[in-house]
């Protein structure tokens, strides 16, 4: 059965252009799968407009959205991937793809995400060491903040806590560079995170499926982890920065990752467990650092880039799920979740 899908893209964050690219690719893939697509742009000022005629959209609580079956929020960063738009869609009473309000908010906050993992039941979830830095603390007492981060040593990565796509990240190799890096991150966000530069290779794993409380008829969890992939940045890039991610030829994804069978299964196991611990639904990409048999979690992205050449789609393709099939399954998972929640209401 074909569906009518509203694809939201754009948004108010600095990842507006990346979102537009994801939304366009999703629309093309859904159309190729036989679905009807209603393309909606969220402008930088927050206005919602239909792309075919540019008309603004009036949102009415409880009345659905443009008569569609499901919404695909292809939004990255604040005001889209952080639970805000998910809350709007819940208010409209419309099915949507991806994580719900709580998981979206937790996972976009890099510090909160790590704290949630730290509180998980045994066995512990191994992750990269970090220190969260609030703007007010930095302004009040920089020396205290620098004392707290000193235990991480160098090199470290300094990041705005609520942004993705490597926006605002600084790779610090000299302790004297840390104050400037923190100041730069805190111009983007009121919360920054300082992470140790973990050894090993960067490995990413996609997850697809319903959340931990939604089980199949046999009682098993309905989520699957992809074949892990290895990120290799091109010459001229010291790390996986914005240019490496979005410049053609800036990175290579090697699938399967060149890690041991034991590490491969550990990555897949931890991807599924992380997905469940933070309450994700639909999809996620979980990023790791792997050194020999040591596997550490770095972060989780609830709405990764979504062109056919993006890492998440490639990981799923290497695991036997084509791009059109992936989009179709995500839309139907969103509808299924919506129906389950209605039954509980």
Q: Residue 207's domain is classified under what CATH number? A: 3.30.470.20
Of 175, 196, 217, which residue sits at a domain end? 196
Q: Are residues 84 and 138 in the same domain?
A: no
Average pLDDT of the residues in 25-38: 96
Residue 243 has pLDDT above 80, yes or no: no
- Any domain includes 328: no
Q: Are residues 206 and 258 in the same domain?
A: yes
- Any domain includes 177: yes
CATH code of the domain containing 167: 3.30.1490.20
Q: Are residues 64 and 80 in the same domain?
A: yes
Q: Are residues 20 and 166 in the same domain?
A: no
163: how many CB neighbours lie within 10 A of its CB? 22
Q: Are residues 188 and 297 in the same domain?
A: no
- Any domain includes 256: yes
Q: Are residues 192 and 205 in the same domain?
A: no
Residue 218 has pLDDT above 70, yes or no: no
Tens-digit pLDDT profile for residues 285-324:
999 999 999 999 999 999 999 987 799 999 999 999 999 9
Average pLDDT of the residues in 36-60: 95
Of 143, 162, 196, which residue sits at a domain end? 196
Domain assignment of residue 242, given as a range: 106-124+199-302
CATH code of the domain containing 61: 3.40.50.20
User: What percent of the chain has pLDDT above 90?
Assistant: 80
Tell if the pTM clears 0.85, that is, is over it: yes
Tally the domains of the chain: 3
- CA 325, distance to chain mean position in Å, is 20
Average pLDDT of the residues in 78-93: 96
Q: Are residues 15 and 88 in the same domain?
A: yes
Sign of dihedral through CA atoms 231, 237, 239, 245?
negative
Q: Are residues 152 and 218 in the same domain?
A: no
- Any domain includes 60: yes
Q: Give residue 239's pLDDT.
A: 56
Tens-digit pLDDT profile for residues 157-180:
999 998 765 667 899 999 999 999
Q: Are residues 261 and 113 in the same domain?
A: yes
- Any domain includes 322: no
Of 267, 285, 302, which residue sits at a domain end? 302
- Any domain includes 260: yes
User: What percent of the chain has pLDDT above 70?
Assistant: 91
Q: Give residue 98's pLDDT.
A: 97
Q: Give residue 246's pLDDT.
A: 56
Q: How far apart are CA 133 and CA 59, in angstroms?
A: 37
Average pLDDT of the residues in 28-45: 96
Q: Are residues 119 and 204 in the same domain?
A: yes
Mean pLDDT of the chain: 91
Q: How confident is the model at residue 336 (pLDDT cuts 50, 70, 90)?
A: very high
């Amino acid at each position: 059965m074909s569906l009518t899908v509203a694809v939201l893209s754009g948004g108010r964050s600095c990842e507006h252009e990346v979102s537009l690219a994801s939304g366009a690719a999703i629309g093309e893939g859904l159309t190729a799968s036989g679905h009807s697509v209603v393309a909606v742009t969220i402008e930088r000022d927050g206005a919602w407009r239909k792309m075919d005629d540019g008309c603004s959209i009036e949102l009415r609580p409880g009345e659905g959205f443009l008569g569609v079956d499901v919404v695909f929020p292809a939004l990255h960063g604040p005001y889209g991937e952080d639970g805000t738009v998910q809350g709007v869609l819940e208010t409209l009473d419309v099915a949507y793809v991806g994580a719900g309000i709580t998981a979206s908010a937790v996972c976009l906050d890099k510090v909160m995400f790590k704290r949630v993992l730290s509180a998980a039941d045994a066995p512990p979830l191994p992750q990269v060491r970090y220190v969260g830095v609030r703007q007010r603390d930095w302004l009040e007492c920089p020396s205290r903040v620098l004392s707290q981060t000193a235990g991480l040593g160098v090199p470290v990565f300094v990041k705005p806590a609520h942004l993705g796509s490597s926006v605002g990240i600084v790779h610090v190799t000299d302790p004297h560079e840390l104050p400037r890096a923190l100041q730069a991150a805190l111009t983007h966000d009121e919360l920054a995170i300082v992470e140790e530069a973990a050894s090993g290779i960067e490995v990413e794993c996609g997850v697809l499926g319903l959340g931990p409380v939604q089980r199949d008829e046999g009682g098993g969890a309905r989520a699957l982890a992809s074949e892990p992939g290895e990120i290799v940045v091109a010459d001229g890039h010291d790390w996986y920065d914005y240019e490496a991610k979005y410049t053609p030829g800036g990175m290579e994804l090697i699938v399967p990752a060149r890690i041991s069978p034991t590490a491969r299964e550990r990555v897949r196991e931890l991807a599924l467990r992380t997905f469940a611990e933070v309450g994700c639904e639909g999809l996620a990409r979980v990023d790791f650092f792997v050194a020999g048999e040591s596997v550490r979690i770095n972060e989780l992205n609830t709405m990764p880039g979504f062109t056919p050449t993006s890492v998440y789609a490639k990981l799923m393709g290497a695991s036997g799920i084509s791009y059109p099939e992936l989009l179709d399954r995500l839309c139907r998972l969103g509808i299924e979740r919506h129906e389950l929640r209605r039954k509980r209401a």
